[in-house]
Amino acid sequence: MESPLPLPVERAIHRLGSDISLARRRRHISQASLAERMGASLSTVRRMEQGDVRVPIHFFARALHVFGEIHALEHLLDTPNDDIGLTLMDEQLPKRVRDKPGTSGAL
């Protein structure tokens, strides 16, 4: 049995589906046309726009690609500025670094 999705996850997927629907309509693209461009079925596009959490993420990525917005997905997690991850890494740094015997300290 699957555990239920956290409410913030459900809300985010529902919001993404709504935003895809809005972007499609603003561009005057039918659901059928979007489905064809994405290589998906019409029912998949409908479910995606309704925020169905069972729609695989690659369909959301394909929709973003059709709209020319795939870069948004590429930059979702900004690892160079991940404060928590960087702090955890810094905590693991050694207090001192000593030369191994037979090596110089030069790079």
pTM of this structure: 0.76
Q: What is the pLDDT of residues 36-89, one digit of tens each?
A: 999 999 999 999 999 999 999 999 999 999 999 999 998 888 888 888 988 998
- Give the long-range contacts of residues 37-43, CB within 8 A, separation 24 or more: 37/66, 38/62, 38/63, 38/65, 38/66
pLDDT at 20 over 70: yes
Residues 59 and 40: beta-carbon distance below 8 Å: yes
Residues 34 and 63: beta-carbon distance below 8 Å: yes
CA 105 to chain centre: 43
